Amino acid sequence: MMEPLKEMFNKKFYESLAHEFRKVDKHFDSKKFISSVTKDLDALELNQRLRKTTEVLREHLPTDYKKSISLLKKVIPNVNRGYTTLVFPDFVGKYGKHDITTSLEALKHFTKFGSSEFAVREFLKTDFDTTINAMGQWAEDKDPHVRRLASEGSRPRLPWSFKLDNVIKDPQLTLPILEKLKSDEELYVRKSVANHLNDISKEHPKFILDIVKNWKGSSPHTDWILKHASRSLLKKGHPELLAHFGIRHNAAIGTVSFKLLNSSIIVGEDIQFSLILENTGNKKIKVRIEYALYFRIANGNLSKKVFKISERILNKQETIKLDRKHSFKLITTRKYHAGAHKIALIINGKEGKPLDFKLKGLS
């Protein structure tokens, strides 16, 4: 079994971290730091351990904020990259709001060794204009980690962080940053831009539609961003957006067959289905094939989630047959509830008649 993520913050990590601080600051009390930071550690989860590390570091570093930042900068290159390096920007986010100039410069530096995406939001919350202006400059930086921070840190709905309500209300606030990054050479950066736009699409579908109209064709990199950014609206079957990607909502596609291969499963098994599609027209067409699963939830209602099968060209009079399955294996991100479920085929945004199947509890 894989070790819990929280175990990244363990005694071995703290001994190594203390050793690095001791090398740059002879006054750093390694023994006292390790004793304090590991006390009652077992009871803490991942982010609780991260925050405790930040707080204990504060007790063992100079009271002068700039001196502490100087030491942190000396240590971070010698720490293994990964989630544990978030301690460094977390220190800035918690203790640096009184000195935004020093703090933003530190976050720009620390993000090269991990990510400052969570910490920078603390400054967007307290001094949005100063912070967003700095992030606009970061979008032009030569380092891809810094450019990504400009987009990722200003996302309206960054997972594991609080929402930026002002950006949710007015997506124009971050558009200048996205404009600078829309053709970025780094996939790492482009994924962030796409996710940022997908966040915006939740409240502002017309805004995304306008972006697609204005940006489409600028470059292959931009077109990749637009397609990935439109995924939520495409799954909702937005006709105008589908059309911009060459997918006709009313295309001449016939569903010859859609059937379940098993109508009753237990948790841990797969629901299996097959489908046959036919292009009944005289021209080749682009077809987007998806399916909707209606999961039973705790209150007995059904909750819909759409899954993509493929997107392909169907030649005139061509027929295709596909067999697929969906796993109901236990996962941490979804809780299954026994009872009636439904599955429906979606072709070019149009949903067909759902089929019923039953999910039984664990055997």
For residue 236, is it within any domain? Answer: no
Residues 42 and 148 in one domain: yes
**Residue 275 belongs to domain with CATH number:** 2.60.40.10
For the stretch 14-23, contacts whose Cβ atoms lie closer than 8 Å and that sit 24 or more positions apart, written own/partner, are 14/38, 14/53, 16/79, 17/53, 17/75, 17/79, 20/75, 20/78, 20/79, 21/60, 21/61, 21/71, 21/75, 23/78
Residues 182 and 257 in one domain: no
Instruction: Measure the CA–CA gap between 159 and 155, rounded to whole angstroms.
Output: 9
Residue located via tokens 């039984």: 360
Question: pLDDT at position 191, please?
Answer: 98
For residue 213, is it within any domain? Answer: no
pLDDT in single tens digits along all 363 residues of the chain: 567 889 999 999 999 999 999 999 999 999 999 999 999 999 999 999 999 999 999 999 999 999 999 999 999 999 998 899 999 999 999 999 999 999 999 999 999 999 999 999 999 999 999 999 999 999 999 999 999 999 999 999 999 999 999 999 999 999 999 999 999 999 999 999 999 999 999 999 999 999 999 999 999 999 999 999 999 999 999 999 999 999 998 787 877 789 999 999 999 999 999 999 999 888 899 999 999 999 999 999 999 999 999 999 999 889 999 999 999 998 888 899 999 999 999 999 999 999 999 999 864
Residues 53 and 160 in one domain: yes
For the entire predicted model, the pTM comes to: 0.90
For residue 235, is it within any domain? Answer: no
C-alpha 344, offset from chain centre: 27
Residues 147 and 293 in one domain: no
What total number of domains does the chain contain? 2
Half-sphere exposure at residue 231, Cβ-oriented, CA atoms within 13 angstroms = 15
Q: Which residue range(s) make up the domain with 157?
A: 5-195
Residues 16 and 137 in one domain: yes
Instruction: Measure the CA–CA gap between 308 and 33, rounded to whole angstroms.
Output: 50
Residues 61 and 185 in one domain: yes
**Residue 30 belongs to domain with CATH number:** 1.25.10
Distances in whole angstroms, Cα of residue 12 to Cα of each of 1, 8, 74, 83, 194: 20, 9, 20, 15, 38
Residues 66 and 168 in one domain: yes
Question: pLDDT at position 282, please?
Answer: 86
Question: pLDDT at position 362, please?
Answer: 65
Residues 167 and 58 in one domain: yes
Residues 106 and 178 in one domain: yes
Count helices and strands (H / E) in the chain.
Answer: 16, 9
Residues 61 and 181 in one domain: yes
Nearest CA to 52 out of 34, 64, 69 is that of 34
Residues 63 and 171 in one domain: yes
Q: Tens digits of per-residue pLDDT, 328-361? A: 998 888 899 999 999 999 999 999 999 999 999 8
Q: Tens digits of per-residue pLDDT, 214-267? A: 999 999 999 999 999 999 999 999 999 999 999 998 787 877 789 999 999 999
Instruction: Measure the CA–CA gap between 76 and 85, rounded to whole angstroms.
Output: 7
Residues 43 and 150 in one domain: yes
